[in-house]
Amino acid sequence: MIFGIVMIRSAVADNASLADTAQRQAMFAAIGLVILLLATVIDYHVWRGLSRILFLGIILLLLYVELVGAKTFGATRWIRVGSFTIQPSEVAKVTLILILADDIARNEDRLRSWSGILRTLIIAAIPALVILREPDLSTAILVMVLWAAMAFAAGMPPKYILMIGAAGVMVPLLALSFNLMADYQKHRLALFLFPESDPGAAYNIQQSLIAIGSGGVLGQGYGLSTQVQLRFLKVRQTDFIFSVLSSEFGIVGDVIFFCVLAFVVYRCLQAARNARDTYGALIGYGVATLIFYQAAFNIGMNLNLLPVAGIPLPFISSGGSSLWAVLLGIGLVESTVLYRKEMEF
């Protein structure tokens, strides 16, 4: 988080309108640490008894966003609380991990039949469809990826995942065929497939690739990236902060960052393997999947390997909601470790 704040400070590049971004992120980090500690000290089994209430609460909150949320870049994903905007779908990701972990753990023996699989699939699909209406296709896909990873960890045969995954691939294709995608989503997809069709709109992807390439092996140095400091790269404190990292610290900095992030994911997986019950294990697997997926997708879109979407880089991108969600997930994993040790004692 400290490294993220430092990178945001550099990414601002003396832009007056973004002058307080790093300070706000530091405040978000402080609040996030409180959230992490609270999630750690509360026995994770407490959330299991609240699964139905959490599920209903998430659906109502997401529907509330649709009704009164602030619209930005063609999507209604945020609600305003005082001087801040909060993205409920970020909190929904972690809450759904708890809900799915409870349902899958209760029906673990049924995951080898379609009846048991469809039950858990519906629980994930309902909030995914609500999120899709915002519209937020990338987060809706993430919800389904979380479901698939947790169901697979609980013993669902791979053939079912492949069959459902193949059907899932058809969803965006059908949405495109029947004109159900928002205009900005279709534009992003077209730019990804045919960047030459609109060179002006593809500007930031080109600048992202230039910034990453300019870093070379050791980078240009902190606060010295020409693409960043001359503000050629846009949205650099959020979606494209990986490009800032690459241009300033080069391949060496990228590799160190990958190793640290991989270590966090590994520790979540290790906590899952050592959990005292299936519910705790699935929390660990779910949080590991969440962090890995978001990091992989964000880096992929910075490298133009994936379409641009509002997926933040965990711990690094500017934004309170995304940071709090990841720290809440880490706190829940810590809780599975803490209370496992107490039971052993």
- Percent of the chain surpassing pLDDT 90: 55
> Which tens digits make up the pLDDT trace of 22-78?
999 999 999 999 999 999 999 999 999 999 999 999 999 888 887 776 555 555 566
What region, left, alpha or beta, does residue 70 occupy, with left being phi > 0 and alpha being psi -120 to 50 degrees? Answer: beta
Six token digits for residue 329: 């997930």
The answer to whether residue 176 scores a pLDDT higher than 60 is no
Kind and range of the H or E run holding 305: none
Assessment of whether the complete model's pTM goes beyond 0.75 = yes
Residue 294 contacts residue 309 (beta carbons within 8 Å): no
The answer to whether residue 179 scores a pLDDT higher than 60 is no
Task: Show the domain range for 110.
Answer: 2-344
> Which tens digits make up the pLDDT trace of 248-280?
999 999 999 999 999 999 999 999 999 989 999
- Three-state secondary structure of 196-214: HHCCCCCHHHHHHHHHHHH
The answer to whether residue 97 scores a pLDDT higher than 80 is yes
DSSP per-residue letters across 232-290: -SSSTTTTTHHHHHHHHHHHHHHHHHHHHHHHHHHHHHHHHHH-SSHHHHHHHHHHHHH
Greater confidence, 95 or 81? 95
Beta-carbon count within 10 A of 308 CB: 21
> Which tens digits make up the pLDDT trace of 296-312?
999 999 999 888 887 89
How much is the pLDDT for 2? 95
Which of helix, strand or coil describes residue 154? coil
Cα three-residue angle 322-323-324, rounded to 5 degrees: 95
Residue 176 contacts residue 185 (beta carbons within 8 Å): no
Domains contained in the chain, number? 1
How much is the pLDDT for 345? 42
Beta-strand runs (E) in the chain? 70-72, 75-81, 84-86
The answer to whether residue 247 scores a pLDDT higher than 70 is yes
**Residues near 110 by beta carbon (within 8 Å), at least 6 away in sequence:** 116, 117, 119
- Residue at 312: amino acid letter: P
What region, left, alpha or beta, does residue 135 occupy, with left being phi > 0 and alpha being psi -120 to 50 degrees? Answer: beta
Phi, psi of 78 (to 5 degrees): -120, 150
127 preceded by a cis bond (ω within 30 of 0): no
> How far is it, in rounded angstroms, from Cα 193 to Cα 171?
18
Greater confidence, 97 or 119? 97
